[in-house]
């Protein structure tokens, strides 16, 4: 089956902003901040909790299509399949945040979790108005508990149900506590699984070979072109395919995938969402919805609502996903009742991406009559300063590390083409080039390491983006906070100060990632380095290099590599590219030989 490689664009590089500008022309109630790629309500209410979502572009109408009265206050748009950076997200909070509070609802992907978490913490630390909370939604059931490891379930189309209900409750004037509680209640009771006849194609990239044969379909598809969990051949009939998908969703015996507490005893009441992943015809969507509703009815589920349409896509992927939201039982006293949740789901909205649905249950009683048819920057200033022990050596170490990263880019890229999505080397190189530019501009000085580290945090966040950019920026931001505290009792940053503040920074970083050694991530060598630093820099560098080398032997427990075939990864015998990059950096700081490929 040929890849759908043709696209209608002026320039792939401007496609995201061109799309957002088009939405503004269609919807007079929204505006776009072109620099930060934020679509937001023109007149957000100051008496309602604000709802923000976002992530990489390519999933439209999610999330920009759901900005409007009764749904999102703002959506933050990254490049295609890439998380927006923290500066973009902070801008969204500034545009729509208010004293009533802000709830951010995002899909469970590492980059989104880190960058939205980082922006939230930065906004609160800067004294912004109102509390900001982040809810990370994981509704995928395809990747089992063992394979998913510590990264958990991927966020898919069920995320939209979470913020639709939360936003409707917010419009009634509910508090941030109540809105967050309702969102969590929905998030804990949804499951989604997707299938695809083929992978999608990203505008601006080369034409790809077909991933699947003409008689194959892939089950367990994500929304970022990652492979599914299994291939079905020959292509099954729709009824059999839907049966397999809904059986996986509602199983109570599969220890790997029984995420939602179904009983399968005739008492389960559900909301069904049938979502077009991008290129399934309306003709087929109707047939899919009919099969799904019939299956639920035949298996004694009470289907209270059916939503069918294009909610969250993977560009032009020919596939669909099924989502079930298990409603509370009549005697439940935890959270909102089923009737209240349905009332909130049925609330009208001006968001153009929200599809019409019948505010009633599907009926099987009658035969169908065939005759009727602004610029945001982190403050690097501080009332206190802390000098490096030797300011010149401090600057030389940073410059050396940045140059070493640039030199290592081809090797890191090679590793990531095997173990990830191929962008790790270029991402680190972009960050290193940004650091060298900041050095050249005089923005980094050894006379004030607090300001210097804050500048590094800002540079890597802006230049790198994605998962690694957020990880580095969170660590560096927390490191700067630790150095600021240390300045109260120290006049210069010696080894003891760096060791103590690095340990504190690592502890802060661990709030935003569940990766712990051994995880085959950059956390492995970073933790080894920080743990060994009190005993000397050179020993800490050796520990980091050993930890990076050890990742060759590990199964991935976090990051995109957690979703790839672990046997193939082991045979490739490459280290985690992020871990290798950390080893390159710390070796450069110390002025010693870096890790061996």
Give the active site residues: 224
Residues in contact with 320: Cβ distance below 8 Å, sequence separation at least 6, in sequence order: 194, 195, 274, 275, 276, 277, 280, 285, 288
Helices (H), 2-85: 15-26
- In whole angstroms, give the CA distance from residue 451 to residue 385: 8
Length of the chain: 597
- In whole angstroms, give the CA distance from residue 555 to residue 63: 33
Residues in contact with 240: Cβ distance below 8 Å, sequence separation at least 6, in sequence order: none
On whether 112 is known to bind a ligand per the annotation, the reply is yes
Contact 434, 463 (CB under 8 A): yes
On whether 59 is known to bind a ligand per the annotation, the reply is yes
User: By three-state DSSP, how is residue 344 classified?
Assistant: helix
Contact 96, 41 (CB under 8 A): yes
On whether 58 is known to bind a ligand per the annotation, the reply is yes
- Please choose, from the candidates 578, 87, 62, 35, the residue with its C-alpha nearest in 3D space to the C-alpha of residue 379: 87
Helices (H), 251-331: 282-298
Task: Tally the C-alpha atoms within 13 A of residue 131's C-alpha that lie toward its C-beta.
Answer: 10
On whether 381 is known to bind a ligand per the annotation, the reply is no
Question: How far apart, in Å, are the Cα atoms of 169 and each of 60, 67, 184?
Answer: 24, 16, 13
- In whole angstroms, give the CA distance from residue 321 to residue 395: 52
Residues forming the annotated binding site for substrate? 56-59, 107, 112
Residues forming the annotated binding site? 56-59, 107, 112
């Amino acid at each position: 089956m040929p890849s759908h490689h043709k696209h209608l664009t002026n320039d792939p590089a401007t496609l995201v902003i061109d799309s957002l500008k088009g939405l503004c022309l269609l919807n007079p109630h929204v505006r776009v901040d072109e620099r930060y790629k934020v679509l937001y309500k023109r007149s957000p209410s100051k008496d309602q909790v604000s709802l923000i979502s976002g992530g990489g572009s390519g999933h439209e109408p999610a999330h920009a299509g759901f900005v409007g009265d009764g749904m999102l206050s703002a959506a933050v748009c990254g490049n295609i399949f890439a998380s927006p950076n923290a500066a973009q997200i902070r801008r969204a909070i500034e545009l729509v945040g208010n004293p009533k509070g802000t709830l951010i609802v995002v899909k469970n992907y590492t980059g989104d979790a880190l960058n939205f978490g980082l922006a939230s913490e930065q906004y609160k630390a800067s004294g912004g108005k109102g509390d900001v909370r982040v809810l990370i939604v994981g509704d995928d059931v395809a990747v089992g508990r063992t394979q998913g490891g510590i990264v958990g379930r991927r966020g898919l189309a069920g995320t939209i149900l979470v913020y639709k209900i939360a936003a409707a409750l917010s419009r009634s004037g509910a508090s941030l506590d109540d809105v967050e509680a309702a969102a969590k209640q929905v998030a804990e009771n949804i499951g989604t699984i997707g299938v695809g006849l083929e992978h999608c194609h990203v505008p601006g990239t080369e034409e790809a070979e077909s991933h699947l044969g003409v008689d194959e379909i892939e089950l367990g598809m994500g929304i970022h072109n990652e492979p599914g969990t299994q291939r079905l051949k020959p292509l099954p009939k729709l009824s059999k395919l839907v049966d397999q998908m809904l059986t996986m969703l509602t199983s109570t015996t599969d220890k790997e995938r029984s995420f939602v507490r179904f009983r399968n005893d005739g008492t389960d009441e559900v909301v069904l969402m049938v979502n077009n992943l991008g290129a399934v015809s309306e003709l087929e969507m109707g047939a899919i919805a009919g099969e799904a509703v019939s299956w639920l009815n035949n298996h004694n589920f009470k289907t209270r609502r059916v939503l069918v349409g294009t909610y969250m896509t993977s560009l032009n992927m020919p596939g669909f996903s099924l989502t079930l939201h298990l409603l509370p039982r009549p005697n439940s006293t935890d959270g909102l009742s089923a009737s209240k949740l349905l009332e909130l789901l049925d609330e009208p909205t001006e968001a153009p991406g929200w599809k019409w649905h019948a505010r009633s249950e599907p009926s099987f009683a009658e035969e169908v009559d065939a005759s009727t048819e602004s610029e945001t920057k982190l403050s690097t200033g501080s009332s206190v300063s802390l000098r490096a022990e030797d300011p010149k050596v401090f600057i030389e170490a940073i410059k050396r590390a940045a140059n070493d990263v640039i030199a290592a880019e081809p090797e890191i890229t090679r590793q990531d083409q095997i173990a990830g999505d191929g962008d790790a080397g270029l991402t680190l190189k972009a960050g290193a080039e940004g650091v060298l530019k900041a050095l050249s501009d005089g923005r980094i000085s050894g006379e004030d390491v607090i300001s210097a580290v804050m500048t590094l945090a800002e540079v890597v966040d802006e230049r790198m983006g994605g998962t690694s950019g957020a990880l580095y920026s969170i660590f560096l931001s927390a490191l700067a906070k630790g150095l600021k505290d240390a300045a109260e009792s120290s006049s210069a940053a010696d080894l003891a100060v760096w060791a103590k503040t690095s340990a504190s920074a690592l502890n802060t970083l661990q709030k935003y990632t569940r990766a712990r050694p051994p995880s085959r991530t950059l956390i492995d060598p970073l933790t080894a380095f920080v743990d060994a630093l009190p005993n000397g820099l050179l020993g800490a560098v050796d520990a980091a290099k050993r930890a990076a080398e050890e990742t060759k032997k590990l199964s991935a427990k976090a990051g995109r590599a957690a979703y790839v075939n672990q046997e193939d990864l082991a045979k490739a015998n490459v280290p985690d590219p992020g871990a290798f990059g950390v080893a390159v950096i710390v070796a450069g700081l110390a002025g010693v030989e870096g890790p061996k490929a």
